[in-house]
Amino acid sequence: MPRPCLDLSVYLVTDRPLSLGRDLADVVAAAVRGGATVVQLREKHCSSREMVELGRALKKVLEPTGVPLIIDDRVDVALAVGADGAHVGQSDMHWRDARRILGPDALLGLTIDHMHEVYEAEEADVDYLGVGPVFATKTHENPAPVWGPEKLAEAVRASRHPVVAIGGVKSHNIKQVLAAKPAGVAVVSAICSADDPESAARDLLRKVQQA
């Protein structure tokens, strides 16, 4: 079975504390109606069992839409819920081990914190690189140094992999990000904390498509 088709245009990363008390599945469903093209379940402060339950709830929402579900860090949870793939960071399971466990048909993303990691990832059997933070952000506990749009553009030019820009990306600064020509933008609070997640996702997708 081939890997799912991957449109990285608007990549939603979940965060329940930022979701204004709303049910996470409802936020995700609204975001997908608005045009979110990928959803990553990233919840740092819950048990394995709760993570699996959340993953299954999101899988139920996303499966009819064809939007891929990616699990952050937890390759075991990705397998347990039948997700489309996983995303690993520089201090998580090595991408080689994640690929071996997930198999050749799963989607796999890799976080990039520093420029030298872009070059190191050239041999990596991953589907995309998550590069950032582009701007200062409070949604990550230990953010790497800020890249800025110019350095992001350097990563895009240097990598054979599609690059997703993440970190501080909002509606008001997305044009600066898109000028670097990434494959897409990953957002957390721009959708999760929006009064209307559907409208927020639609606005972001429109701006990506215009660029």
Report if residue 79 sits inside a domain. Answer: yes
CATH of the domain at 161: 3.20.20.70
Report if residue 5 sits inside a domain. Answer: no
Report if residue 1 sits inside a domain. Answer: no
Report if residue 4 sits inside a domain. Answer: no
How big is the CA angle at 195 (ends 193 and 198), to the nearest 5 degrees?
Answer: 90
- Which of 110, 105, 107 has its CA nearest to residue 123? 110
The pTM is what? 0.95
Per-residue pLDDT of the chain (211 residues; tens, 9 = 90+): 566 679 999 999 999 999 999 999 999 999 999 999 999 999 988 999 999 999 999 999 999 999 999 999 999 999 999 999 999 999 999 999 999 999 999 999 999 999 999 999 999 999 999 999 999 887 666 667 899 999 999 999 999 999 999 999 999 999 999 999 999 999 999 999 999 999 999 999 999 999 8
Report if residue 2 sits inside a domain. Answer: no
Report if residue 3 sits inside a domain. Answer: no
Split into its structural domains, the chain has a count of: 1
**CA distance linking residue 119 with residue 26, whole number of Å:** 39
**CA distance linking residue 166 with residue 185, whole number of Å:** 6
Domain, as residue range, for 175: 10-210
Asked if 80 contacts 55 with a C-beta cutoff of 8 angstroms, the reply is: yes
